[in-house]
Structure 1
Amino acid sequence: MPLFVKGMPASVEGSKKALIMLEGGPGVSSVSLEWIMDKLHRELSGEFHIFTVDHRGTGRSGRLDCPAAQALSSGSRYGNDIALEEIPHCLKDIHHQFGTNAAAAYSITNAAKDLTMLIETEMADYDVYLYGMSYGTMVVERLMHFSPPQVKGYILDSICADHYEPEGTGNNQMFSNWDDDAKDVSQHFLDLCQKDTAVCGKLLGENATATLFKLYDRLDANASACSAIFYDTLEIKPSIKLRQFFFKLLGRYDRRKFIPTFAARLERCNAQDKDVMTSILTKNDPARPSEGLHSNLLQDTIVYSEVWQVPTPSMEDIVQQFFASPMALNDPEKVGCYCLFTGSNSSECVPWVDMNVPPWTYTPDKYFNKTAAIPIGVSVLGLTGNLDPLTPSKHARRHFKNMKGDNKKLVEFPVAVHGIIGNTPLSDNHTDPHCGLLVVADFLRASGALDAINLTCMDKVQPLNFDIPDALALELFDLDGGAMDGKIHTPAQDAKDYKSNYTYSHEGGRDRPQLDSRRPRAQCAPETS
C-alpha cells in the first residue's frame, strides 16, 4: 500500500530535525494541513524539515473507495458521504476488490506502523517530532506503543482519548454518543453567551438555553411565520435543522457569534428576517476540491471497528441524545450503518440482519483501549479548547491523567474551538500566526522542553464576543446592513468596490434527525472532516 508523504525541506543546512503532521477524520487527507505546514516552517526559520502524511486509506495513500457503487463520488446523491441505502452495494464492491478479511489492513494500528516504518527507515538519524490533530492524535497515541527512538516529542491537538470507561460515566469518547458531548459544550457556550449582557444577553435573555428550546418548540408548533422555512421549503422539522445548523456554527470561531443573532431573527420573523433566514438555511456550501481526497468509507471502517459502543445504542437512544442538546449533529441512521458494516445480530440490528451484506470491520487488536506510557526521554504537549464541540476538553484531561509519565503538559484555551493550532487568533489580521501555532513552535525550538514554552500569547487570544462587524456579516453570510437588520446582498452589486478584511482560515417532513450536509472536517469521536 502506498504511503504519501509531502515535505518542506529545512532551509538550515545540515538540519536533522523533522516534524511530521497528521490530519484527522478518520479519512481526511493532509491537504488541509498544508497552510499550517507553511506557517510553521516560516515561524521556525527553516530549522525543521516539515512533512505531512496521508494516513493509509485516504488521500494519496491508497484511498479506500467503492468505485463500482459510486457511493463516494462527488456527483452521487449524497456526495462524499455514504448513506445507509448506499452501504450494501458499496460493501459488496469492497469485498470484490479485497476479499473477506482485509478491513484490518486499514486499522489505527497499521496506520501507526506505517509512520513507525517511515521514521525508522527514512529518518533514522533525525530528531523527529509528531503532531496529530483530532483523529490524528489517535494515530500518534497508537504509535507511542511502538516508541521509535528517533521520536523526541509528541504534540496532541484537539485530543481523542484512546481509553474508554464504563457506560454511564460520561467518559466514552465515541461517535455513537456524540451529542452527549455536544450538549455539554453547547450549554457552556450559551452560559457564556447570556453573561454578555451587552449583546447576547439582550438577544437571548438570562437563560439562553431555555430561550433556544422555546424557539424550537414555537417553530415546531407552526406558531411562527418562519416555520414555513422548514416545513414548506426545507421539508424538515425546525428543531432538527436548527440544532444541526447551530452546531456547525458553534465549531467555527468566526461564525459562532452569529448564533444568538440568527435565533433572534427567527424569533422576530418579520418579512426581511424570513427572506434572510431562508437564504442562509437553504444555502449549500460547495464541496472543496480536497474533499475528493477524503475517504468516509475509511472513516466508517475505523469508527464501527473501534469507536462505536458495543452493543450499539438504539436509534431511539440517539434521537433522545439529539433532542436533549441545544445544538447537535448525530444521525440515528448511523445505527443501521453500524449494523451493516459489522454484521451484528444484536437486537438493535434486527431490521438489517437479513440483507445479506458482507461485513467490513475488523477486531480491535491488543493496543485497543490502552493508553501508552510516555517513553523515557520523550515529552508530550497537549492542546485543547474548552469550546471545542468535536473533541471536548474533558476527554483531553482524562487522556492526560491516564497517560503514565510526568513529562507532559496539557494547555487549555478557554474559548478555542477544534484545531488549536489554527483557531486561536491574536488579531483580525489573518496573516498573523495564531497562539496555538506559536506554542507548538516554542515546543519544537526548545527540543520538547515543556518548561521552556512561552504561553504569554494565551492572554492575547481574541475573547469570545458577540459584536458582529458589518464587514464580517457581509463576508460570511452576504448580509448587507448588519447581522441583525441586514438584507441578503446581491453578489454582483458593487462587487468591484468591495474588499473584505476578514477571512476564514480553518476548515460538520422527518420526525427524526438526519444529516442534511457533509460531515464536519477532521473529527474524531466526541465524548468523532
Structure 2
Amino acid sequence: MKKFILLTILVIYSIGQVEAQSWKCPENIRIPEFKSSDCFFLKAPLNYDSDNTEKIDLFVRKFPAKRKRKGSIWLIPGGPGESGATLYPLINQFSELFPHMDIFIPDHRGTGYSSKICPKEEVVDSPGGMALSNDEWGPCFDYMYSNPNYAKAFTITNAAKDLSLLINELSGQGERYIYGVSYGTQLVLRLLQLGTTNLDAVILDSLVPLQDDEKYDLSRRSFITNEVGLSFLQKFDETFPNHISIREQLKNVIERAEKDQEFANQLPKQDLTILFGMMLDIPYVRNKIPEIIKSLNKGDFKPLQNSIAKITSFYQEYGANYQSSPNSIPLTQIITASENNLRPDITKANVAQESRELLFKSPLPNLIAENTMPTYKRDNYFGKIPKQMPPTLILHGNLDPKTHIEGARKHYKVLKQENPSISFIEINSAPHFIALFAPNVFRKAVREFIRKKSIEDQTMNEKTLSFK
C-alpha cells in the first residue's frame, strides 16, 4: 500500500464540490487488460445523513471507450464484500459489447482500494493482503467495536449514495447505462430508489429476491440450493430415463457416508451435501454430478476428487491476478446481519436441524447465524422498490442456486407494476452470474435490448450449459 500511495499523481482537479484525484493505476504494467485504464480516488462522506464531516476514499477504475465515445456504462459487482476485481476478468467482453462507452468499475465502500471497515488489517501491505489473516481478526474486531459509528456507516444506502456521487461526477456527456450482478442488483435498485441519478438503461444479472421475501431469505439459502440441486437431478433423470433415479443414488451415498465409517474415511472432511451444493455454481462441474454420484455408489472416489480440484482451481484462479480481489468478510457480515437476514436470531443448531434432510446445502446460513459484528438500523428504503425506473433488462438462470428464479420472478412482477419498461429473460440451465456463465445469451439479449431499449420476455438457451 505504501508504494501505491507514493505513486505519482498525474492530475488533480475539482468536479463540482467533489475532489477527484487521477492516479497512475496500480498493477497497470503487470496486467495486460489494465494498460489503457485510468484510476480515480474521490472523497465521499462517511455518512450522508448526519453532520459528521468525516470522509472516506472511493476507488474507481475507468476503461476508455474503444471507439468514438457515446457515453458510459457502470459495472457494479456483487457481494456485498466483493470489489470491482470480480468484474475485471470480463472487461474485454464488456468492451466488445459496449465499444462506444467508457466503462467504469468502482470498488464498493469497504472493498478493494476504497476505504475499509478495518483500515489496517484489510489493506494490500497487511500480512494477509486485503484478506484477513488469522491474527488480524482480533484487531479488526477491536477496531469495529471501538469505532461503532464508523463501522455502522457501511450501509447499502450509503453505498448507493456513493454510486450516485460517482456516476454524476465522473460519467461525462452522453448516455448512461448501469449493470449490476447479484448483490449489485440490490445496490442498483437502492440507487434508483434515491432518484438522484439519471440513467438511460439498466441491466440486472441474477436478480436478488425482494428484501422482505422470507421464502428466499439468505438464512434459507440451503433450501434454495437443495431445490435447484433436485431440479438438476430431475432434468437428468428425464433426459436419461433408463437408469436408477440419480436422486435416490445420491440419497444412498449420503446415508452411507453417515453410517459406513470406512466409506466416510475416504471422503473429504467437508460435508458432502455442501460439496454437492458448491458444484451447482460452476456448470462444467455441475454437469459431472451424475457421474460423481454413480462412481461413489461403486466406491470410486476419483471423479469427486477431480471435481473438488476444479472447484478449488476456479476460485483460486478467478481474479487471482488482482491484489484487490479478496472479499471483505466484515462488510459482508455487517450488511447481511443488518438488513439481509430476516431471521437474525437463528442459531447454528437451528440451521443444522432444519437442513438435516437436504441433499444439497449452502454454507451461508451457518456462517451468518449468531452474528457477532456491529449492526446498523434499517432505514426507510428497506424492503421498498423504485418508483421510477428507466428501461431495464433482467437476466436470470433457472438453475441459479443462489438467487432462486422464482424469487427473481416475484421481484420482477412487483417492479413491473410500477415500471412497465422492464423485460425478463430466463436462461435454461444457467446458474448465478449470466455474464460469466452464459456469455453468448448475455451478448445477444443485451445487444437487442440496448438497440431497441426493450426486448420481449422470453426463455433463451446457452448451448454450453447443456449436459450430455
Q: Same fold (TM over 0.5)?
A: yes
Does the CA contact (< 8 Å) of 1:66 and 1:91 recur in 2?
Answer: no
Q: Secondary structure at the match of 2:227?
A: helix
Contact kept, 8 Å, 1:180 with 1:325, in 2: the verdict is yes
TM-score, length basis structure 2: 0.78
Please name the residue that 2:57 is paired with.
2
The equivalent position to 1:117 in structure 2, one of 165, 178, 182, is: 165
Task: Map 1:147-296 to 2 at 5 A.
Answer: 147-165=195-213, 167=214, 170=215, 173-197=216-240, 202=243, 205-206=244-245, 208-222=246-260, 225-230=262-267, 234=268, 236=269, 241-269=271-299, 273-274=300-301, 277=304, 285=313, 287-288=316-317, 289=320, 290=322, 292-296=325-329
- Report if the CA contact (8 A) 1:305-1:362 is conserved: yes
Letter in 2 for 1:25: G
Which protein, 1 or 2, shows the higher relative CO under an 8 Å CA cutoff with sep ≥ 6? 1
CA distance in 2, matches of 1:82, 1:328: 27
CA distance 1:274–1:140, change in 2 (3 Å): closer
Q: Which residue of 2 aligns with 1:327?
A: 360
Matches within 5 A, 1:29-178: 29-44=83-98, 46-65=99-118, 67=120, 80=131, 89-96=139-146, 99-123=147-171, 125-165=173-213, 167=214, 170=215, 173-178=216-221
CA distance in 1, matches of 2:419, 2:292: 47
Shift of the 434–408 alpha-carbon distance from structure 1 to 2, 3 Å rule, reads same
Equivalences for residues 125-524 of structure 1 within 5 A: 125-165=173-213, 167=214, 170=215, 173-197=216-240, 202=243, 205-206=244-245, 208-222=246-260, 225-230=262-267, 234=268, 236=269, 241-269=271-299, 273-274=300-301, 277=304, 285=313, 287-288=316-317, 289=320, 290=322, 292-330=325-363, 333-334=366-367, 337-338=370-371, 340-341=372-373, 360-375=374-389, 378-403=390-415, 404-424=418-438, 433-446=439-452, 448-450=453-455, 458-459=460-461, 461-465=463-467, 467=468
Instruction: In structure 1, give the amino acid aligned to 2:402.
Output: L
The one-letter code of the counterpart of 2:454 is A
What is the identity, as a one-letter code, of the residue corresponding to 2:411?
H
TM-aligned CA deviation for residue 278 of structure 1: 5.4
Q: Is the 8 A contact 1:374 1:380 kept in 2?
A: no
- Relative to 1, partners in 2 of residues 1:301 and 1:151: Cα closer, same or farther, differing over 3 Å? same
Q: Does 1:18 align with 2:72?
A: yes
Q: Number of aligned pairs?
A: 404
Letter in 2 for 1:416: A
Give 1:463 shift: 5.0
| Amino acid paired to 1:210 | E
Contact 1:17–1:48 (8 Å) recurs in 2: yes
Q: Cα distance, 1:459 vs. partner?
A: 4.4
1:120 Cα deviation from its structure 2 partner:
1.9
- State whether residues 182 and 325 of structure 1, in contact with CA within 8 Å, keep that contact through their aligned partners in structure 2: no
Aligned to 2:19: none
Q: 1:86 to 1:436 in 2, by over 3 A?
A: same
Equivalent pair of 1:153/1:379 in contact (CA under 8 Å): yes
What is the rounded CA distance, in whole Å, between the counterparts of 1:393 and 1:74 in structure 2?
A: 40
Q: Deviations over 1:162-214 (max 9, x none)?
A: 4314x5xx2xx32211112112111111111111217xx63xx23x3232112
Q: Is 1:27–1:58's contact at 8 Å kept on the other side of the alignment? A: yes
What is the letter of the counterpart of residue 222 of structure 2?
Answer: D
Unaligned runs of 5+ in 2: 1-55
Tell whether the 8 Å contact from 1:384 to 1:420 is kept in structure 2 after alignment. yes
Report percent identity of matched pairs.
Answer: 26
CA, structure 1 residues 66+312, in 2 after alignment: closer, same or farther (shift >3 Å)? farther
Paired residue secondary structure (2:177): strand
Q: Secondary structure at the match of 1:4?
A: strand
Could you tell me how far 1:21 is from its partner in structure 2?
A: 0.5
TM-score by length of 1: 0.69
* SS of structure 2 residue aligned to 1:243: helix
Q: Distance in 2 between matches of 1:383 and 1:336?
A: 30
Q: For residue 50 of structure 1, give the secondary structure of its aligned residue in structure 2.
A: strand
1:88, distance to aligned residue in structure 2 (A): 5.7
> Partners of 1:190 and 1:53 in 2: how far apart?
38
Q: Distance in 1 between matches of 2:429 and 2:370?
A: 34
Q: SS where residue 176 of structure 2 aligns?
A: strand
Instruction: Please give the alpha-carbon distance, in whole angstroms, between the structure 2 residues aligned to 1:257 and 1:276.
Output: 12
Contact 2:249 2:297 in 1 (8 A): no
> What displacement does 1:126 show?
2.9
1:282 Cα shift? Answer: 7.8
Alpha-carbon RMSD: 3.0
1:324: Cα distance to partner?
2.9
